[in-house]
Structure 1
């Protein structure tokens, strides 16, 4: 029997009512978040607060936290990624600090760099004269202060920006760049140790002064809690994702070991495909993958991202910052007040320069941390740990020629640059990149949104930058999904 027109109309009406009832109970649009690091989790929290709870978080690794990640080393948990709350005790409150210090009460220690001048070792052993080093440091500080004043007079567009090295030349501080080992070591400590790239690369206008310290304060606090700095990310995730009694996330909206390889987008929605051939569909996607991943071929966008977006992605730098932990059977280095940090002034710039001992953080662990960056990081990642250990032992025996320096028993060398899920540690704002390219970097493309520390307007490269970027990017998506304000304004290059 052929149904009557009235019957068909009735069925369609019932189906329509059922569909509308489903939409009424659904929590707004469906959003896929790529990455469960700080920015991805932060974005998810803000979306949830706005009523967008139909979320799916796809994380490539087996853990939450991204570049905030602890690892067991010789019986203690150390941070292979982010380690400090940077910018504390200033005019504004760093949003990460109360979570670390008050809510979670993670063990943390103020890093004291005030005595560095008395802890600079010559290439072949012995300490430089403290007054001499302080004089060199004061000269560098003077040039930097002049640079800060200059930065404040330049157009906000960045059209008259220069490199930090150009700033140093302008103020007659080593016009040819640092040449003596002690000057190279101090220069490395002041800039590379913070930015992970040298002054000839980094933007003066965006790095001198660094907004993190001018806004939040000059103090930094080293997190040395066995629960891990990643506890902050788990804490934020637990505010909208279901957890069990132990705090483990058991929410089905979080899927680990899901490597996103393809994102297809159209005016009607997005489709995300993972390496295990799973396919997920949604109204929007929030990509919180690192800048290094965006610069690689891990994720394919279909259609390809527009040229303006690709150029912006490639103009920014993904820097490499490597913290190498080394354990010894006994201590042979100085301890006590003012001895936590020390420098090795090699004639080879960036060669195992900045050292830290852990008398307070990890008592009796007999562990040292040495930090390398940039080209040295890439070089070290491509050699064996035994080769790196041998180089470190040679340096330490040069620094302490009169000491019995035993062979290291353990070494931990993170390989962020080689890891396809990160391709580096954090972004750095290079010379030649203006506010215009930054706006393009975080701008959405259709239904594809972007977040991450590299999209933080003022705090790229920092944990608080990743946290705030997640909130900011979520707000852009919320404006579109709920308020139909989908046009993202990018100021003109010279505005």
Structure 2
């Protein structure tokens, strides 16, 4: 093929792509949104409400919803990603709750994590630990946690005196060398790792205790177990501004699936976005809703390279890994009934298949168990075969229930969020030393490149409602620039002694 012919073909393809983009165009600037998870879809909805309807959403995977994703497991749809509406029945309304409970009426179940927990902590050699002794451990942990909340409230908002949750525990003469006994470790894991997906030695006290989700929206959590999937929330939001088919699935040319973005070129006049299949798109602005893990990888190349302050902010946050492993059995051998839904395995190895949930109510007669692992255990498990993981789990279960005839699991489902190049983890965590200044930088635009995602939610990172609200917040920043010519993003100085404006 002659060079001129090749150039003509490329131009023709480019024009075709742009034509399809413009087909659904409305008034206002053109915006490309990278990612069709709840943040990207939420941002698109807010832009549309403001009259910016010339949007194109490029999604790397074959589905809408991002880390809100159901998967069929032996005939039952289970949630491999987000599963709970966390933060309900407080003074303020969690914006996700009415969509789930009233609008879509998704099947959901109150999760009573703690009332009966002390009765359900299993020993490595079988049977349960003494309830009274376990309850003492739980009560002491909560007593220290309450002290931590008071201490956190006294720390300067600049974050300069922040500490890890573990440091706070030590200040309270609680497990000065870290949790060491199996019961201490599994209770500590339940309270902190199960929430943040990283241990107390990593997690920031100031940004983790108390949890603003509970403070603002309430302490209750509801487990979504609907065959339509928790992702229905994202489809519902998308349907507010994108065309859908009779089944409620998005059927709009402004949403393109299987379009993995690998390059974003930006200048003062606009942006060019390229995907791995060779497609090229141009717009006035781009909103990047890829996960923090993706931003920390080399999947998307920015040209020019993002400024150092932005790169540093991206790398200062953690992308944690939270793995929900589902197992199917030919018959039930574990206890069921009131107070039996959640149970713990107190191993001498912290985080080793410790957090269990049974589904007598949510998935009747399914004979499915869920065990959750995080952090280093998640990464280890992702690198071994499912058969090896199943063998480890069966050994644990037979240790927990030595008097039962425990059959082999017939099926296992092991999500691999960390290994998936389109996610690189499950959700973000605020580590020690990261404060409002770095958060503002993480959220801040760079020229015509805007950023959103649960990791940019100051108070609710890691949560579904955090992703939803961050989409709205980031869209507002773009709207202010595009429609009001307010194109400077204000970042207060690290110690509040100086200010900085990140000009666009």
User: Which TM-score band applies after superposition, normalised by the shorter structure?
Assistant: over 0.9
> 1:27 offset after TM fit, Å?
1.1
**2 CA distance for matches of 1:293 and 1:365?**
35
- For 1:36-115, what aligned pairs fall within 5 Å after superposition? 36-113=36-113, 114-115=115-116
- Pick the structure with greater CA Rg: 1
Could you say what the CA RMSD is over the residues aligned between the two structures, in angstroms? 0.8
**1 CA distance for matches of 2:395 and 2:193?**
23
- Per-residue Cα deviation, 1:71-124 (whole angstroms, up to 9, x for no partner): 000110000000000000111100000000000000000001211010000111
Query: Which residue in 1 is equivalent to 2:357?
Result: 356
**1 CA distance for matches of 2:111 and 2:380?**
28
Q: What stretches of structure 2 of length at least 5 have no aligned partner?
A: 1-21, 497-504
- Per-residue Cα deviation, 1:289-316 (whole angstroms, up to 9, x for no partner): 0000000000000000000000000000
Q: Is 1:402 matched up with 2:371?
A: no
**2 CA distance for matches of 1:149 and 1:164?**
13
Query: Which residue in 2 is equivalent to 1:116?
Result: 117
Which segments of structure 1 move beyond 3 Å, counting only runs of 4 or more?
none
SS at match of 2:199: coil
- For 1:414-493, what aligned pairs fall within 5 Å after superposition? 414-493=415-494
Query: Which residue in 2 is equivalent to 1:250?
Result: 251
- For 1:148-297, what aligned pairs fall within 5 Å after superposition? 148-297=149-298
- Per-residue Cα deviation, 1:115-167 (whole angstroms, up to 9, x for no partner): 10100001111100100000011110000000001111111111110000000
Q: Is 1:331 matched up with 2:339?
A: no
- Per-residue Cα deviation, 1:185-221 (whole angstroms, up to 9, x for no partner): 0000000001000000000001010101111111100
Which stretch shows the higher mean deviation, 264-273 or 149-158? Answer: 149-158
- Conservation of the 8 A alpha-carbon contact between 2:64 and 2:235: yes
SS at match of 2:315: helix
- Conservation of the 8 A alpha-carbon contact between 2:69 and 2:231: yes
**2 CA distance for matches of 1:248 and 1:490?**
39
**2 CA distance for matches of 1:246 and 1:405?**
42
**2 CA distance for matches of 1:157 and 1:229?**
37
SS at match of 2:446: coil
- For 1:14-29, what aligned pairs fall within 5 Å after superposition? 26-29=26-29
> 1:457 offset after TM fit, Å?
1.3
TM-score with structure 2 setting the length: 0.93
- For 1:315-330, what aligned pairs fall within 5 Å after superposition? 315-330=316-331
Query: Which residue in 2 is equivalent to 1:11?
Result: none
- Conservation of the 8 A alpha-carbon contact between 2:26 and 2:52: no
**1 CA distance for matches of 2:318 and 2:127?**
37
**2 CA distance for matches of 1:57 and 1:246?**
20
> 1:246 offset after TM fit, Å?
1.8
Q: Give the number of aligned pairs.
A: 472
Q: What stretches of structure 1 of length at least 5 have no aligned partner?
A: 1-21
